[in-house]
A = this chain, B = another copy of it.
Amino acid sequence: MENIDLVKIFKALSSEQRLNIFKMLYEWNQTTSEVTTDCLCSEEGVEKCFTKTCDCLDLSKSTISHHFKELENAGLINCTRIGQSSVCKINMEAVQAIRDFLK
């Protein structure tokens, strides 16, 4: 896909708030069942992730939107819209790049 830039990735994860956001998105993406959680998860990603994140953090919507953009720009997540709601999917290639970092 896009070429993976470790500096961008580390920069995206170097803010406490963004690391929190990413961890939440990652966990929500791990959830496979729609039943065991209030998350609507599918292979398309996690629905309503933006609203959920806003509920969990004490930050303004504009700031959170900005952080989502940074994570997206670093290639860590991909976000789309379904209706009014945003659907977010973790980019496992980027995660793998972190895991592979230094052998």
Chain A residues engaging chain B, CB cutoff 8 angstroms: 6-7, 10-11, 13-16, 19, 26, 95, 98-99, 101-102
List 16 additional A-B contacts (Cβ < 8 Å) besides A7-B16, A7-B19, A99-B101. A6-B13, A6-B19, A7-B14, A7-B15, A10-B10, A10-B11, A10-B19, A11-B14, A13-B14, A14-B14, A26-B102, A95-B102, A98-B98, A98-B101, A98-B102, A99-B102
Contact B15 A13 (CB under 8 A): no
Instruction: Return chain B residues, CB-CB under 8 Å to A14.
Output: 7, 10-11, 13-14
Contact A13 B16 (CB under 8 A): no
Question: A27: nearest residue on chain B (CB-CB)?
Answer: B102
